[in-house]
Structure 1
Amino acid sequence: MDRIEAMRAFITVARSGSFSAAAEKLDKSPQLVSKYVSQLENHLASRLLNRTTRRVHLTEAGQQYLLRASQVLEEIDSMESDLNAMQHQANGLLRISAPVAFSTQHLAPLLSTFQQQYPDVDIDLNLSDRKVDIIEEGFDIALRIGHLKSSSFIAKPLTPIQLVLCAAPSYLAQYGEPHSLDDLKTHRYLRYSYIDEGNSPAPHNFLAEGQNMHNAALTCNHGELLTQSAILGHGIALQPTFICYQALEQGQLKVIMRDHKPPPMRLYAVYAHRQLLASKVRAFINFAADYYGDQPYWDNCLTAAK
C-alpha cells in the first residue's frame, strides 16, 4: 500500500463528502479511491468513514486521523515546494495588501530591492488600514501590524513595531511634562482610532487604566496627521516610531514617559494556509523576513533622541 496516496485519498474523500467527488479531484476511478481508503482502514485497524448511498461521514477516529494526516501531508507538500522553488524562478503577479502609513514611508525600498532580485514578479499593491479578507479579495499576502489572534492563516513576523508617547517641546513647555500615568489626566490626547483593528490587546488600553487620558482632544484614523498635530503642539500622541522617527531625530517631538509604554507590536506577513505555496509568495516572505531586521533603522531615533 502506498501510504501517502492512501492518506491523500482519505483526506480528499473526507473533505469532498463522497468517493465520486474525491475521484474527480484526484483524477482516479472511484473504485481505486475506495480501495485506498479500505487499505488504510485495514492498516490502522480502525473505521475512518461511515458510508451511505449518498455521502460519507467521519467516525471519531476518522476526525482525529484527518487532522494529523492533513498536517503530515502539508509538511510533505511544503518540503517538495521548497525544493521546487529552488529550481524555478519566482514569477507572476503578486497581490499585496499593506497598511497606509507604514507603506508610504518604508515599503517602496523593500519592493524595489525585491524586484531587482526577482525581476519576473510583478506587484499589485493595495494600501488600506482595514483588515482585508485575503482569500475573498484575492490577495496573496497581507502585511499587518498588531498583536494577531490565532487563525487559519499563517503569520510570519517581519520586524518589531515600537510605540512611544511623544509631544512637542512647545506643548511640554506650556502644559508641563508628565512623568506618571496619573499625570496624564490633565493632558490633551491625540488618539489613533484605527490601531490594532480586530486584534487585542489594543496599545491604547494601558492608557485607559485608572481613567488616564480617557478624553481625546483629537481622534483620527491617520497616524501621520496625528504626528503633525503633535508637532504643532496640539497634544500628546501614542505613535509607532516608524511614523514619528524623523520628528524625534529633529527634535520636533520628544519621547516622554519611557518607562510607561506598551509592549512592542509586530509587522507580519499574513498568507493563506495552503498545501502548495507559490514560489512568488514564498520568495517575498523569505525576503521580507530578512529586510528590516530585529531593530529596524527607524528605531535609531530612540537612542538618538535621549
Structure 2
Amino acid sequence: MYSYTSIPVFIAVVESGSFSLAAKKLLITKSAVSKRITLLEEELGCRLLNRTTRKLSLTEAGQQYYDYASQSLALAEQGINTVIELQGTPRGKLKITVPMSFGVNHITPFLAEFMTKHPDLEVDMELEDKMVDLVQGGFDLGIRIGHLPTSNLVAKRLTICRSILCASIHYLEKYGEPQKPKDLSQHNCLRYAYFKGGQNWEFKSSVGVSSVLPQGNLTINNSEAIRRVLLDGLGIAQMPTFLISKDIVSGNLKPIMTNYSLPIHAVYVVYPERKHLPLKARVFIDFMVEKLCPEVPYWDQAIFEN
C-alpha cells in the first residue's frame, strides 16, 4: 500500500517545504516524489498538500496524517537504532554540520582516528558557518558556538569558547595600541558577519561593562578569512582562541586591552529531540568531549596555563 511506503516521502516533503528539496534529501528525482504524493492522495481519497508556485502547505487532512506519520517513522527509526545497539556496533551514515573554521581546525584532525575506531560508520560532514536547519537538512548532529536560540533541539556543551581582542605587531606599530574601549573608535575593527553575540563588542572590567559598536571597512562571514587579514596588518578583531592560539604563542598576533575580559561562550553539539539518541551519534559526542576537554580546551592550555 502506498500509504505505508510513502510515509518517508511525505514527511520529507513537509519538513523540507518543497518537492525538489525532498528529492535531494531522499536521493530520488523530483518527479518520483510528485508521483508518490499523488498516488498517496488518490489512495487516501483526499488532498494532503496545497500546492502553489511559491510554497506548499498542509491541508487539515494533511496535518492529521503528518502527525501520525511522523510518529510512526520516528518509532521505526528507534527500532532500527535499538537493533543496531544490541549488536554493540555503531553503523550507518552520520550526517553532521559544523562551522567551517572550527571544523577544519578541530574536528577533521580527529576524523581518521574516529573512523578507524568505528569502521562501519560513514560520516557526511558539511562545513557551513551559517546556521542550518538540522531537521530540514537531515542532519543527525550539529556543532554550534555561542548563544543558542530557542528551539526544539537538545544541546550538550562540549567545551568553552574564549575570545581575545588582537592585532598584528605591524598594525600596532603603525597605528598605536588602544588602551580602553573608547579608543577603538580610532581603529579599523574587522567584524565576523555571523557573530551570535550581537553587533556590539562588550568589555568587562572592575568598574563594569563597556559596550562598543565596532567600526571598520571589512566584514567577513568566515573567521579564518578574518585571521588572514589580521596577520596581514589590516586591523583589530575579536577572535576565538580556537583559531588564533598558535598565532598568539608565536607572537604573530598580540592580545590587546588585556585588562578587560570578553564574554566567554561555549561550543555545543545539538541534535533533534528524540526519545533515544542513536548509538552512532552518541559515540561521536563522547569522542569529541574527550578530545576537546570540557573545562580547558587543548588550544587554550598554551595561552592560559603558562
SS in 2 for 1:224: helix
Report the CA distance shift for 1:261/1:216 in structure 2 as closer, same or farther (over 3 A).
farther
Distance, in Å, in 2 between the alignment partners of 1:116 and 1:203 is: 42
The alpha carbon displacement at 1:213 in A equals: 5.2
Q: Tell me what 2:300 maps to.
A: 299
Which structure is larger by alpha-carbon Rg, 1 or 2? 1
Q: Tell me what 1:31 maps to.
A: none
Distance, in Å, in 1 between the alignment partners of 2:259 and 2:152 is: 36
CA contact (8 A) 1:142 1:270 kept: yes
Q: Tell me what 1:112 maps to.
A: 112
- Structure 2 gaps, min length 5: 1-60, 62-77, 204-208
Q: Tell me what 2:184 maps to.
A: 184
Distance, in Å, in 1 between the alignment partners of 2:193 and 2:91 is: 38
Distance, in Å, in 1 between the alignment partners of 2:213 and 2:201 is: 10
CA contact (8 A) 1:217 1:235 kept: no
CA contact (8 A) 2:200 2:214 kept: no
Q: Tell me what 1:90 maps to.
A: 90
The one-letter code sitting in structure 2 at the alignment partner of 1:286 is D
CA contact (8 A) 1:185 1:211 kept: no
CA contact (8 A) 2:200 2:213 kept: no
State the superposition RMSD in angstroms: 2.9
SS in 2 for 1:274: coil
Q: Tell me what 2:133 maps to.
A: 133
The alpha carbon displacement at 1:236 in A equals: 0.5
Correspondences of 1:91-240 after superposition (within 5 Å)? 91-196=91-196, 201-202=197-198, 204-206=200-202, 212=212, 214-240=214-240
CA contact (8 A) 1:245 1:298 kept: yes
The one-letter code sitting in structure 2 at the alignment partner of 1:214 is P
Report the CA distance shift for 1:118/1:204 in structure 2 as closer, same or farther (over 3 A).
farther
Q: Tell me what 1:276 maps to.
A: 276
Report the CA distance shift for 1:137/1:83 in structure 2 as closer, same or farther (over 3 A).
closer
SS in 2 for 1:260: coil
- Structure 1 gaps, min length 5: 1-53, 55-77
Deviations 1:224-249 (A, max 9, x none): 12112111211101111111122212
Report the CA distance shift for 1:204/1:102 in structure 2 as closer, same or farther (over 3 A).
farther
Deviations 1:274-303 (A, max 9, x none): 112211111111222222102122113424
Question: How high is the sequence identity, in percent, across the aligned residues?
Answer: 35
Report the CA distance shift for 1:98/1:211 in structure 2 as closer, same or farther (over 3 A).
closer
CA contact (8 A) 2:202 2:263 kept: no
Distance, in Å, in 2 between the alignment partners of 1:217 and 1:206 is: 20
The alpha carbon displacement at 1:82 in A equals: 9.1
SS in 2 for 1:244: helix
The alpha carbon displacement at 1:113 in A equals: 2.0
Normalized against structure 1, the TM-score is what? 0.66
Report the CA distance shift for 1:94/1:84 in structure 2 as closer, same or farther (over 3 A).
closer
Count of paired positions: 226
